[in-house]
């Protein structure tokens, strides 16, 4: 049997030629995977699974008591059948429940089975939280390593080093134990030469980190690159990518994430943390039979793991659950909601007890505002929303264009060089500017910060008039020279971030988008905030300010503008809505600030949607040709099933198997001469009445097994899919009974059904294929549907690569 031949067949949706093209396309997409077979295939993949209650959607108490290994599993780069997986789990559950009455042991088994989901969530939360803490601490240390080293112990980061210091010093950040590279090598830190030395060390460290990262990714886990969210979305929708969530991906992604973040590239750790958490979830699934053996159940766990990932990334458990629900999950039953919440909470509290930032907060940029905002400020907030939407749409277009170029030209062949060049440019441009030199999360933290009276940062260098100050409440003040310098530097930082991020996202290192997007928005927001503040200070007699912003009052909080801007830009890029607002709300803790955030997020989404419908993740899914059926978009064309189903008018008739008249040889000929993943079984060639559906993979495995182990099965044996096989003359070879692998409940609709309904059915039930009744007229697969949608949207239908 040609094992390779049926590796990636599709349901009768394409001719053989098309199929070969697809396989070629697929190999190209996963070229690194094919060049270097990932080490994590065995464990991380979905293959270690054999049988279980393999009933499928049919009732199969009959023949095969012990299911064959492999029957009921899936090939790599294929889509699972949710209905089959779910009914298999129900069968399993039924069996355990019915057995539980028999003995105490079985009862215990049933109870432990019921609680295994919760235990799994606990473990995922603990592991994801610990890994996030580890990543935070390491990245913090290594980022500081680019600038200097701690004499009290090289493993201390700058802040930690200065805590340990006993001597008093005026500037909190300048302690004798912390030496910049020039201080260490030259003995002093002043002068042009010291500056150049520090500059050089900064660039060298950055290059070293990013080189190591890209080599590790290329060498050990090609799937560890990128943010991972597009792929996780696709996997959660039912696609199988072996090794994408395996243990090697986990290890390499964790290490390279730290390296990539520390190298100072314009990327964040938040998206990849979702991937890391999903890897944890997938690996921990192997501890429990219930989840190891069922693709649908496993995906429930992955949804919860994604929530835990966002929870630790932003310190926002509720936001994480909503993110998982809104953005990444496909099938999200309510039971999963509750469990995801639990996992997210455990993860957050694990991270908190690790306390990576030493402030018992989960993120660096947690902030508390004190002043209310005024209704008129909605105007600048909405302006920020418009900016966010424009930036989002611009970023998505440019990034996709660049990624397409990388895919199609020779550029894609030199990933290491690309990473090094981008790192070098980033580091060279970043060092001279204080706001790009610091890590992006520190920058965001500083931008969000509401200037207190003791803040020493340049952004807070206002002209103080201590007579009008009461307590900790500072009135609006005139900006000092420090603020004006900061403004210029921030403007330059903004321009740099805007362009460099386009080239960074999509390189062969782990790279998240949240933090760079937020940084762009936060800079723009802070700039606008300071501008409005100064306007209000100098012109508090203008009609728009009178009544709510008198002289000496604190009316404008530039930090809030930064936060609103961050939300707007993040919204423009990802098109998140509720989860975005809730994540931001959890960062501030004040219900009051939801309204500005919501106004900005809403405007941003509308503006961005008006320019291009897709968010960055969907755009990347389409770029990679993953078979993802978008649940949010309505199918709005007026076509009918008959326009989509195969065979078309001039095609050869559907390849079918009859229920009790074909021999083993006939079936083998059909299987080897076609590449379809499954075949309808009909009563007879003349009646064409549909009996069921049989999958290619199951068929091959069953025949192979029967030939080896069952007596009297030869090429002329008749294959029988019915309950009672017709009696044969005594001389003929024994019959091969295969009812157990037949799916007796294939879905059927009439060919007059509008495609919008067909699409809905595919989405909601998670099917792979579909028949047409009134005799067997034809068949539609998920891939046909996706191609049809692409065609209707004037896109290339051949961009859908997998089934």
Report in angstroms how near the CB of residue 91 gets to a copy of itself at its nearest. 8
Q: Binders of a copy of itself: how many residues, by CB under 8 A?
A: 67
Can you name the residues that pair with 718 across neighbouring β-strands?
Answer: 663
User: Do the beta carbons of residue 434 and residue 446 sit within 8 Å?
Assistant: no
Q: Per CB under 8 A, does 573 bind a copy of itself?
A: no
Report in angstroms how near the CB of residue 196 gets to a copy of itself at its nearest. 46
State the burial class of residue 329 (Cβ atoms within 10 Å of its Cβ: 0-12, 13-18, 19+). Answer: buried
- Cβ–Cβ contacts within 10 Å for residue 575, how many? 26
CA 205 to chain centre: 29
Report in angstroms how near the CB of residue 244 gets to a copy of itself at its nearest. 25
Q: Per CB under 8 A, does 110 bind a copy of itself?
A: no
Residue 658: which residues within 8 A CB-CB, separation 6 or more?
681, 682, 683, 684, 685
Q: Return the CA Rg of the chain.
A: 30
Report in angstroms how near the CB of residue 116 gets to a copy of itself at its nearest. 15
Q: Per CB under 8 A, does 586 bind a copy of itself?
A: yes
Question: Structure tokens of 90?
Answer: 């129900």
Q: Which of 492, 760, 790, 797 is the binder for a copy of itself (CB under 8 A)?
A: 760
Question: Structure tokens of 646?
Answer: 């195969």
Q: Per CB under 8 A, does 765 bind a copy of itself?
A: yes
Give phi and psi for 213, each to the nearest 5.
Answer: -60, -50
Nearest C-alpha neighbor of 566 from the set 689, 443, 662, 659: 443
Question: Which run of H or of E encompasses 22?
Answer: helix 16-29
CA distance 365 to 39: 37
User: Do the beta carbons of residue 422 and residue 504 sit within 8 Å?
Assistant: yes
Q: Per CB under 8 A, does 370 bind a copy of itself?
A: no
Q: Which is nearer to a copy of itself, 41 or 637 (CB)?
A: 637
Per-residue contact flags (x/-) with a copy of itself for residues 669 to 698, judged by CB under 8 A: --------------------xxxx------
Q: Which is nearer to a copy of itself, 665 or 752 (CB)?
A: 752
Q: Which of 244, 342, 381, 626 is the binder for a copy of itself (CB under 8 A)?
A: 342
The 3-state DSSP composition of the chain as helix, strand, coil percent (nearest 5) reads 55, 5, 35
Q: Which of 374, 640, 646, 707 is the binder for a copy of itself (CB under 8 A)?
A: 640
Kindly indicate which of the ranges 325-333, 477-485, 648-656, 779-787 contains the residues binding a copy of itself, using the contact rule CB under 8 A: 325-333
User: Do the beta carbons of residue 160 and residue 357 sit within 8 Å?
Assistant: no
Query: Residue-wise over 70-94: b if at least 16 C-beta within 10 A, else e?
Result: bbbbbbbbbbbbbbbbbbbbebbee
Report in angstroms how near the CB of residue 216 gets to a copy of itself at its nearest. 35
Q: Per CB under 8 A, does 722 bind a copy of itself?
A: no
Residue with tokens 């080490």: 39
Report in angstroms how near the CB of residue 756 gets to a copy of itself at its nearest. 6
Kindly indicate which of the ranges 30-38, 389-397, 429-437, 593-601 contains the residues binding a copy of itself, using the contact rule CB under 8 A: 593-601
Kindly indicate which of the ranges 234-242, 578-586, 707-715, 791-799 contains the residues binding a copy of itself, using the contact rule CB under 8 A: 578-586
Q: Which of 756, 793, 797, 799 is the binder for a copy of itself (CB under 8 A)?
A: 756
Q: Per CB under 8 A, does 436 bind a copy of itself?
A: no
Report in angstroms how near the CB of residue 680 gets to a copy of itself at its nearest. 12
Q: What is the DSSP string of 299-354?
A: HHHHHHHHHHHHHHHHT-HHHHHHHIIIII-S---HHHHHHHHHHHHHHHHHHHHH
Q: Which of 59, 408, 456, 546 is the binder for a copy of itself (CB under 8 A)?
A: 59
Write out the residues near a copy of itself by the rule CB under 8 A.
57-59, 83, 86-87, 90, 93-94, 97, 317-318, 321, 325-326, 333-335, 337-338, 341-342, 345, 348-349, 577-578, 581-582, 585-586, 589, 591, 594-595, 598, 602, 631-632, 634, 636, 638, 640-641, 689-692, 744-750, 752-754, 756-757, 760-761, 764-765, 773-775
């Amino acid at each position: 049997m040609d094992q390779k031949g049926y590796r990636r067949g599709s349901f009768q949706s394409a001719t053989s030629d098309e199929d070969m093209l697809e396989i070629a396309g697929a190999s190209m997409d996963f070229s690194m995977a094919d060049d270097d077979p990932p080490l994590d295939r065995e464990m991380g993949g979905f293959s270690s699974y054999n049988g279980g209650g393999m009933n499928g959607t049919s009732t199969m108490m009959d023949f095969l008591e012990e299911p064959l290994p492999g029957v009921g599993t899936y090939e790599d780069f294929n889509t699972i059948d949710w209905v089959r997986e779910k009914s298999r789990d129900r069968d399993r559950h039924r069996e355990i429940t019915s057995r539980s009455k028999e003995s105490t042991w079985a009862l215990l088994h049933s109870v432990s089975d019921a609680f295994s989901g919760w235990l799994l969530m606990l473990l995922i939360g603990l592991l994801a939280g610990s890994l996030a803490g580890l990543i935070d601490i390491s990245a913090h240390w290594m980022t500081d390593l680019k600038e200097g080293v701690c004499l009290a112990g090289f493993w201390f980061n700058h802040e930690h080093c200065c805590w340990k210091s006993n001597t008093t010093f005026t500037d909190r950040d300048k302690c004798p134990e912390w030496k910049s590279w020039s201080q260490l090598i030259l003995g002093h830190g002043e002068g042009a030469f010291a500056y150049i030395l520090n500059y050089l060390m900064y660039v060298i460290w950055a290059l070293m980190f990013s080189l190591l990262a890209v080599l590790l990714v290329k060498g050990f886990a090609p799937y560890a690159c990128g943010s991972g969210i597009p792929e996780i979305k696709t996997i959660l929708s039912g696609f199988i990518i072996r090794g994408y969530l395996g243990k090697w991906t986990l290890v390499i992604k964790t290490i390279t994430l730290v390296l990539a973040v520390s190298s100072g590239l314009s990327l964040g750790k938040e998206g990849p943390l979702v991937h890391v958490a999903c890897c944890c979830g997938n690996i921990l699934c192997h501890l429990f039979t219930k989840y190891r053996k069922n693709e649908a159940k496993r995906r429930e766990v992955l949804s919860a793991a994604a929530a835990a990932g966002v929870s630790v990334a932003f310190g926002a458990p509720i936001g994480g659950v909503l993110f998982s629900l809104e953005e990444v999950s496909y099938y999200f039953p309510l039971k999963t909601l509750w469990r995801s919440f639990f996992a997210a909470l455990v993860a957050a509290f694990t991270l908190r007890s690790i306390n990576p930032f030493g402030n018992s907060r989960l993120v660096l940029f947690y902030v508390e505002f004190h002043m209310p905002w005024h209704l008129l400020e909605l105007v600048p907030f909405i302006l920020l929303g418009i900016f966010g939407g424009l930036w989002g749409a611009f970023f998505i277009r440019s990034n996709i264009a660049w990624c397409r170029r990388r895919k199609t030209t020779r550029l894609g062949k030199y990933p290491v060089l690309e990473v090094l060049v981008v790192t070098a440019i980033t580091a060279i441009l970043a060092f001279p500017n204080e706001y790009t030199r610091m890590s992006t999360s520190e920058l965001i933290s500083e931008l969000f910060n509401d200037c207190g009276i003791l803040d020493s940062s340049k952004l807070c260098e206002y002209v103080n008039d201590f007579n009008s100050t009461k307590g900790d409440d500072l009135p609006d003040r005139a900006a000092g020279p420090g603020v004006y310098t900061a403004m210029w530097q921030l403007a330059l930082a903004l321009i740099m971030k805007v362009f460099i991020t386009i080239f960074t996202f999509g390189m062969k290192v782990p790279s998240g988008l949240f933090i760079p997007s937020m940084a762009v928005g936060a800079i723009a927001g802070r700039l606008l905030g300071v501008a409005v503040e100064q306007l209000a200070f100098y012109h508090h007699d203008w009609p728009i300010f009178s009544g709510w912003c008198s002289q000496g009052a604190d009316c404008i909080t530039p930090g809030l503008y930064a936060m609103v801007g961050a939300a707007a830009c993040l919204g423009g890029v990802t098109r998140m809505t509720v989860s975005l607002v809730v994540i931001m709300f959890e960062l501030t803790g004040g219900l009051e600030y939801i309204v500005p955030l919501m106004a900005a997020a809403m405007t941003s989404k509308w503006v961005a949607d008006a320019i291009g419908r897709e968010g960055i993740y969907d755009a990347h899914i389409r770029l990679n040709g993953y078979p993802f059926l978008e649940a949010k978009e309505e199918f709005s064309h007026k076509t009918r099933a008959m326009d989509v189903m195969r065979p078309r008018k001039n095609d050869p008739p559907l390849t079918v198997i009859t229920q009790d008249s074909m021999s083993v040889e006939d079936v083998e000929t059909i299987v080897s001469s076609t590449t379809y993943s499954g075949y309808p079984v009909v009563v007879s060639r003349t009646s064409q009445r549909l009996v069921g559906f049989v999958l290619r993979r199951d068929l091959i495995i069953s025949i192979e097994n029967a030939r080896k182990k069952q007596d009297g099965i030869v090429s002329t044996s008749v294959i029988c899919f019915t309950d009672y096989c017709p009696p044969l003359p005594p001389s003929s070879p024994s019959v091969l009974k295969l009812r157990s692998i037949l799916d007796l409940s294939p879905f059927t609709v009439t060919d007059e059904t509008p495609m919008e309904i067909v699409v809905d059915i595919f989405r909601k039930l998670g099917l792979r294929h579909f028949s047409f009744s009134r005799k067997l007229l034809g068949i539609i697969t998920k891939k046909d549907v996706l191609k049809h949608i692409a065609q209707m949207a004037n896109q290339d239908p051949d961009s859908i690569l997998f089934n």
